[in-house]
Each structure stands twice: as C-alpha cells, then as structure tokens.
A and B are shown apart, each in its own frame.
Chain A
Amino acid sequence: MIPIAYWRNRKLYTRLIGSRCKRCGAEYYPPVKVCKKCGSVDLEEKEMPKTGTIISYTKLTEPPVDFKDYSPIYLAMIRLDNGVTVLGQIADAESEEIRIGMRVMATIRKWTEDGQNGIIYYGYKFKII
C-alpha cells in the first residue's frame, strides 16, 4: 500500500464515494471522470448504498504479501442496491457459510497495515446481515 495514495482515496474507501452521471444517471464505484454509458464528463460525487448482495465469493489462502498476516481472507463481489458492483472482503466470515445471494452491509475494518510502525489502512468490508 502507498500511504499518500491511500490518503487521496480515504473517503472512497471508508464511505464508498463513487460518482453519478448528471446526464444519464449512471452510477459508478470507483468514481469515473468520463461516463462509460453516455460519454458525458459532467459527473458528481455520489455515496454508494451500504447494502447489497453477494454475487460471487472465494476464500483466499495465499493473499498478496501486504495481506499475509490476515490469511485466509474472504473476498466477494457485491452487487450494491443501486446495481453497482464492488469487490470487497467479507468481515467475520470465519464462522459463516457464505453463499451467493446473501445480503451484506458495508462496515469499516482494517485492510492492512505497514508493519508495526507504519500506516494502518482502514476501508470498507462487508458483513453478512
């Protein structure tokens, strides 16, 4: 992780701030500068809904090096209630039997940290509801 890149995106990561096209209404997370549907460059910030549905998931036993202390991690694709799909971890998944179609809600957890003396990266994860 790169601390300054994290800082730049902190509100996206904690509040799921995406964007909405003012012309055609299409919504995006992550935010875009150009609407992929209609090509408009007139977009505004839009906070995504915090609830959604699992459309796929996996249990990852060999995560990338920055996440090795947290292995295994449970990753899912979530269709938010506005139709936007986001990638995120399932929190407190150890004891759950994850299934496609489960309802989830976004919360904030530690994503990772730069060792004992570095930055802690907080961001959205999804809890099964």
Chain B
Amino acid sequence: MSKVYIKSAGLIPVGEHWNKSLTDLMVEASLNALKGQDGVKIDRIVVGNMMSGYLNNQEHLGALLASALGMKGIEALKVEAACGSGGMAVHEGYISVKSGDYENVLVVGVEKMKDADTQVLTKALAMAESADFTQVVGASFISLNALLMRMYMNKYNVQEEFLDYFPVIAHKNAVTAAHSQFKKAFTLEDVKRSPYLAEPIRLLSSAPSSDGAAALLLSSKPSDVEILASEVSTNELMISQRENPLKFEATEKAFKKAVEKAEINPSSVDFLEIHDAFPIVAALSLEAMGYSAEGRAGFDAANGKYNLDGDLPILTFGGLKARGHPVGGTGVYQIVEAYMQLTGTAGKNQVQGAKLGVTQNVGGVDTTSVVHILRKVS
C-alpha cells in the first residue's frame, strides 16, 4: 500500500461567477493545481459534485473535465455524497493512490449554484434527505438543521446567541482570506439583527450559496503534505429516524477511525476545518469529535477557544459560512486550505507552526461524514 501525498493544490475564489460555466470553474481550478506539474502523468480524475444534473443540466462530469483538459482517454468519474461530495472525491482519490494502482490522481470539487433560482436551489439541497419522506412534507435542508438547533437549545438550555458565535468566527477569519466569498466581519449583534430563514437559523448564521471549484493533485510520490487518514462513515439518512438526532454519529465514527489510522493524539491537532453549514452543525461536529463537551461548543466558541489565535483554530479561511459553500467543492476547498496551512502559505490566516490538521466534510445532516487528517512532512 502506498502513502498518499498532496503534490499540489489549486482553487478559484468562491463567489458569484456570472461569467464562468460549471466547466470553466473546474478547468480553472484544475489548471491552478497543475501549475508547474508539466511532466506529471495523471492516471485518474475524480470530480466531486452534488447538483450539476439538476441545476446545470449536466452530468458525466468525469469525462467532461477530462475532455476539457485535453486528457481524453484517462479514467474519470464523478462522485456524489450531497454536501460531502468534495470530501468524498478526495477520499476516492486517496484510496486509488493508496491501492498502488494509480500514481497521480487529480481531484476536483465543484458546484455552480448561482445560475439557479433560490427556491429551485432550496429544493435541490433538500435532495440530501429522502425524496419520498422528507421532501414531500415541504422540508428544506435548512429547516432540518433548524429542527436540530431548536432541539439542542431546548435540551442543553443554550441560547441562540452562543451558537451564533460560529458565524462570527468564520467571518472574522474570511476578511483576510484571498479566496473567500465574504470579506466582511460580523458582530453577534449583526447576526441577531438578520432575519430568520428557518427559526432559529438566521440569514447570517446560514452558509451562502456559491460558485466555486478547488483541485488537488494526489500522488504516491513523497511531497510536502501527507494525508495520514481518509475515513468515511454514514448515519441514518433522515434525522427523524435517528435515536439521538443530536449525536453526529457519522462524524464521531469517521473521526475515531481516522485518529486510529493516523495514530495521532486528537489533542495534538493544530487546526480544524469543520463543516459549519449552520452553527448547529459546527457545534455538533465539534462535540462528536470530542473537542467540546456535549452542549458546550457554543460556550467554547464564545470563550475564544476556536479563534484563529485560540487553542484550536477552526474555519481558518472562513469556513462554509464566509469562505463560501460551493456544495460539491467545499470538501476539496477544506483540504486545499489545510494544505496551505501545512505548507506555510496561508498568509495572514496562517496558524503558526501548523503541523497537523483535520478536515471534516458532511453530506446531509451528518448523514455522510468524511474526515481527513493531514500532516506536514518534515
């Protein structure tokens, strides 16, 4: 079995790319990742994407990208795991390199969301849960998270504002991130003044819709950053079917497996890129990984633990909330950002002395969780 390294990485700024197509986004991110890699022969392309069929009338993204990059003949495919599609694509790239059958694999995560009407997008995102039993009753994806957040607030007697520290942290970090969608800091008051989209989730506590693509070149050849572990776990598809909906079992299991595989001590992790689609997802993710006690993640955030200069920085470039959330791209963005941290190229967002990073990308409400552990090669 081979070890898996990140040979190079590339991304494009997250935002509203009115003049760029789905293909343009993928090609641009790929070319950025492949800059200076002229002699490298790529053996496989994996594209992570959730909604291109529904939003862009386009499937078959593997062949599409291979063709657009002038690489016809190469093995190429798309993987989908809702909002976890990007992380899952990296996982797919990881296991192909690890198997020894492929030396160099290009992984691209992409979503082109801004061409779609908001309500159509709302429907598309709800496809992460059951068509027959979630979508039929009118539930949107955000409403499922709102149900969890209300349950959480009720169970742990937590005020909404403690959870809303997560978007405040995200926006603060995004101000200095070149590729972030929103370079504007928010106060807790700003968040509280924004309207509810699905009580108790507000406009400013909800990840945006975005266009974006990020790419990684994975290789079995030693390089600056090694992927120590790439683990995936699943939970019940529907939150209503879970015995304890406030337990992110998929993240808990994927993280546990990854920590065992990587043989690390979770307390030695220098930074975390978590899936902060909504504050409740950030909180339950941190609790599932054991970084906060149950019901305490919001308080830890309020106390500065998760700030860029805190004990355990999270969302170092703004996370889903402020860097932006191009759904199928997000999981790849997280790993590109971890790569930047570990190679000391994070600029003003640099976590000083970062050697070990964790990324967590989920599809659905922790229905699929993909956890990666990355280490700076010394």
Contact = CB atoms under 8 A, between A and B. Distances in A.
Contact of B240 (A5, A36, A67, A87): A87
Nearest to B236: A36
Interface string A67-99: 110100101110000000111110000000000
B30 to A, nearest CB: 32
25 contacts: A13-B136, A28-B241, A30-B133, A56-B148, A57-B147, A58-B143, A58-B147, A58-B150, A59-B196, A60-B139, A60-B142, A62-B197, A64-B122, A64-B135, A65-B117, A65-B120, A66-B135, A75-B138, A75-B139, A75-B143, A77-B151, A87-B134, A87-B137, A87-B139, A111-B136
Contacts of B139: 60, 64, 75, 87
Nearest to A86: B240
Interface in B218-235: none
Query: Could you say which interface size class chain A belongs to?
Result: 35 or more
Nearest to A85: B240
Query: Could you say which interface size class chain B belongs to?
Result: 35 or more
Nearest to B127: A64
A57 to B, nearest CB: 7
Contact of B199 (A5, A36, A58): A58
The 3 closest A-B pairs by CB, nearest first: A58-B146, A64-B123, A65-B119
Contacts of B134: 87
B128 to A, nearest CB: 12
A34 interface: no
A109 to B, nearest CB: 10
B126 interface: yes
Given A57-B147, A75-B143, A87-B134, A62 B122 contact: yes
Contacts of A59: 196, 198-199
B119 A68 contact: yes
B57 interface: no
Which of the listed residues A13, A62, A68 has the most CB atoms from chain B within 10 Å of its own CB? A62
Contacts of B137: 75, 87-89, 111, 123
A51 interface: no
Contacts of B133: 30, 87
Interface of B: 117-120, 122-123, 126, 130-140, 142-143, 146-148, 150-151, 154, 195-201, 236, 238-241, 245
A113 to B, nearest CB: 12
Interface of A: 1-2, 5-6, 9, 13, 28, 30, 36, 55-68, 70, 73, 75-77, 85-89, 100, 111-112, 121, 123
Nearest to A123: B136
A66 B123 contact: yes
Nearest to A1: B136
B147 A64 contact: no
A104 B236 CA distance: 25
B147 A77 contact: yes
A100 B122 contact: no
A77 to B, nearest CB: 5
A28 B49 CA distance: 32
Which of the listed residues A1, A56, A73, A100 has the most CB atoms from chain B within 10 Å of its own CB? A56
